Amino acid sequence: MTAADLAALFLHCTLLSLLAIGGALATVPDLQRFVVVEHAWLGGVDFSASVALAQAAPGPNLLFVAVVGYNVGGLAGASAAMAGILLPSTVLTLTISRWGLRRRQSRGVRAFVAGMAPVTLGLLLSTGGLLAAPLVQGHTAPLALILATVLLSWKTRINPLWLIAAGAIAGILGFA
């Protein structure tokens, strides 16, 4: 990667940082567009594998940004991506949190908090769709498993660990 590429990755991650309303995973679709579609630094399967590897590792949800950055540009890519994703959101969060705490009962602050719920849900659904797309193409079993998991999570109080275990068993048996 050139210095210009690293700068582009850093700047894109700074923009994504401000979009990470539902958490860092909400930025996966646009990071994928930037890294895979726009610049072809990684293939789609490599990108999905990077996200999956980072999610399997213990630690914060946003580790996938470091893994993608590393796969794109080594340690410099990981550093650029992580600095970009952390700096703006951290500064903005600290500033807004202090301001919002003093005004938490105001109508505007309550409306903002309530209005962010659908935005967060939409971003997370977009992320799920993007990550599932390579698995679902031409196969109905993974799609059925995903839909069943979503419905069970939504309509029941089943512990998500049981659903994860069922998905793992389905994968081991070759159903997904």
- pLDDT tens, 99-130? 888 888 899 888 988 898 888 778 777 877 77
Q: What is the pLDDT of residues 59-86, one digit of tens each?
A: 888 899 999 999 999 999 999 999 999 9
Q: Are 85 and 64 within 8 A, CB to CB?
A: no
Q: Report, as an integer, the average pLDDT of 31-36.
A: 95
CA angle at residue 76 from 79 to 91, to 5 degrees?
A: 25
Q: Do 150 and 118 belong to one domain? A: no
Distance of CA 160 to CAs 51, 148, 167, Å?
20, 12, 11
Is it the case that residue 148 has pLDDT exceeding 70? yes
47-51, 90-94, 169-173: least confidently modelled range: 169-173
Q: Do 121 and 72 belong to one domain? A: yes
Query: How far, in Å, CA of 72 to CA of 78, rounded?
Result: 8
Q: Do 123 and 143 belong to one domain? A: no
Q: Is residue 133 part of a domain?
A: no
Q: Do 107 and 164 belong to one domain? A: no
Q: Do 155 and 120 belong to one domain? A: no
In whole angstroms, what separates CA 82 from the centre of its chain? 14
Quote the pTM value: 0.60
pLDDT at res. 70: 96
Range of the domain at 22: 3-127
Q: Is residue 50 part of a domain?
A: yes
Q: Do 123 and 142 belong to one domain? A: no
- DSSP annotation of 83: H
